[in-house]
Structure 1
């Protein structure tokens, strides 16, 4: 009998081929004499007997179940393996690593906004990190009826709460509806606290919650782009000219008429600007001519007579004719 005593021995282990699984249950198999328990890094093992937790093992390594595990189980401390008998127990393997999950709103969320009765429809995207932190709550709420629990299961639960939480924290923190990204840290922090409180009920903690981007409807995005372009140009007239040039450059087929009209309007605007510039130049020239001093012989002498002859430069002392060349002075 000693030669065949361990012929039914088995290895209780979770090879963890999938990183997206948070726990996996080894069940429906009888543990025989000589069986071993293997716990890998990033795993915990929980022994369940008749649905009750018998022991939790967190140290990694390979252990003989009869000599190193059974003595620590509350109900099975005195259990003795026989040749044809074993224990039919369940072992729940827990993934203790922190897992990162991508999330995104399934549908646009209508956020209350001034001037928009139906609200501003937005969508959001980001990531969150979660891990199992309460074994007892997990077993009570989830593991008792499931063979395994995956990230997709967690994501489904989180996504079902996101719409309400985004609405709550955007309204509270997002003072500028068109600049939500600037407030994304405070919004994400509030959501993380609420999510963590809700998910702890099933033994899972939300360690990190990030919002990577907000997206607006296409029409709003175009308005924001145009406003940014206008602020860069600075002058409304130049902005209109640029818009007309774009219309002319892109006009084709059914849009050719609109392009021609835009070209005519631009031509009229440029003509008006040229005419205004010419008037300004003409007025400036007149002002310069009126301000310039008399420099020719045909220019009348100022009141009181000339002190010097404009022809030869001789001093005249208010005389009517130059004493040197005879030039008439007044």
Structure 2
């Protein structure tokens, strides 16, 4: 290349008539306009398209910012740069300045999520862990501040470079927000809209501080361990049920289980005795009128069928801290006579609510009347 060719190339680079940027990507946030030795011709045309902002940097300092439009670059349209350069009477030679084009359109469908579970202290379920993820949208609302604080000297800054910082910021502020919300654990998933708005309000000042506007913030899902989810569902169902009816249902199931139990004689007798009591109580609670109907029916049929045979009363008694029995009335009298039981021995039979000393049971008071002979003297 000859000397004249070199001069021609240098001149062609020095005298740039049009400063513009055509973005062919969908992820570039900021692009530095490249030209030879940062020189721009006086009265060159600056074209800033919709969705762009042009930022002039002079010697590392923020100079002029241009919104969409077409401009002639001279002292009239470069007031700050003119002041920095100290040009009092205009300039005719090319001037040096770095020009950054900033994409100001809305960047949508950016992903965020919690890398680690968030631990919360719930009043009913104790310490629980949740995860969350969603999307957000942002735009550059202060290009000058964004260039100075974030971009620096990067000649092609993409949203991938800023997303890692933004996702960390979101995860931190989201953790603080849900921790301070103090909601019942089951309401986090049911109130994602309200929680999203709250998180957005909390995070917006953080974004604004670096020239970024948080336009939208969405929580798509709040997840928790499967065992906790099942526990919450069970609690929710119980909360909606009539607890009185649930108690009766559980009682009926307990009676059924006791009837199927093939344990020892004493345990089976105890289970049957308690089962009869619970069955009577449950029947009375579930249908208070049923008792009257059942009593009226034998009276109506008294002339045609005999009454049912009376059931023998059996007793259980406590001996050395253990349950014994069941025994009949005469067997218990014999035990009293040989001093296996005494007046203070706790006894129980069907229909009694609690264990009671023998001397307080009406039909057993006959044991104390002196009708039994004293022990044979040795």
Identify the TM-score tier after normalising by the shorter chain. Answer: 0.5 to 0.7
Alpha-carbon separation, structure 1, partners of 2:248 and 2:298: 34
Instruction: Give the alignment's TM-score, normalised by structure 2.
Output: 0.54
Q: Which secondary structure state, in structure 1, belongs to the residue aligned with residue 32 of structure 2? A: strand
Q: Does 1:38 align with 2:61?
A: no
CA 1:106–1:18: 2 relative to 1, 3 Å: farther
Kept after mapping to 2: 8 A contact 1:40/1:60: yes
Q: Does 1:176 align with 2:184?
A: yes
Q: Which residue of 2 aligns with 1:80?
A: 92
Alpha-carbon separation, structure 2, partners of 1:224 and 1:31: 67
The 5 A counterparts of 1:7-26 are: 7-8=12-13, 9=16, 11-26=18-33
Deviation at 1:123, TM superposition (A): 0.9
Q: Which secondary structure state, in structure 2, belongs to the residue aligned with residue 181 of structure 1? A: coil
Q: Does 1:52 align with 2:64?
A: no
Q: Which residue of 1 aligns with 2:229?
A: 221
Q: Does 1:201 align with 2:201?
A: no
Deviation at 1:34, TM superposition (A): 7.8
Q: Which residue of 2 aligns with 1:165?
A: 173
CA 1:14–1:286: 2 relative to 1, 3 Å: same
Deviation at 1:71, TM superposition (A): 7.9
Instruction: Give the alignment's TM-score, normalised by structure 1.
Output: 0.60
Deviation at 1:214, TM superposition (A): 0.9
Q: Which residue of 1 aligns with 2:352?
A: none
Q: Does 1:131 align with 2:139?
A: yes
Gapped regions of structure 2 (runs ≥ 5): 1-7, 251-255, 262-274, 305-378
Deviation at 1:139, TM superposition (A): 2.8
Alpha-carbon separation, structure 2, partners of 1:22 and 1:165: 24
Alpha-carbon separation, structure 2, partners of 1:134 and 1:239: 66
Gapped regions of structure 1 (runs ≥ 5): 241-263, 296-330
Deviation at 1:176, TM superposition (A): 0.8
CA 1:107–1:69: 2 relative to 1, 3 Å: same
Alpha-carbon separation, structure 1, partners of 2:160 and 2:80: 35
CA-atom RMSD, angstroms? 4.5
Alpha-carbon separation, structure 2, partners of 1:290 and 1:216: 62
The 5 A counterparts of 1:1-330 are: 7-8=12-13, 9=16, 11-29=18-36, 30-32=39-41, 36-61=45-70, 63-65=71-73, 73-74=81-82, 75=85, 78-81=90-93, 86-100=94-108, 101-114=110-123, 119-227=127-235, 287-288=296-297, 290-291=299-300
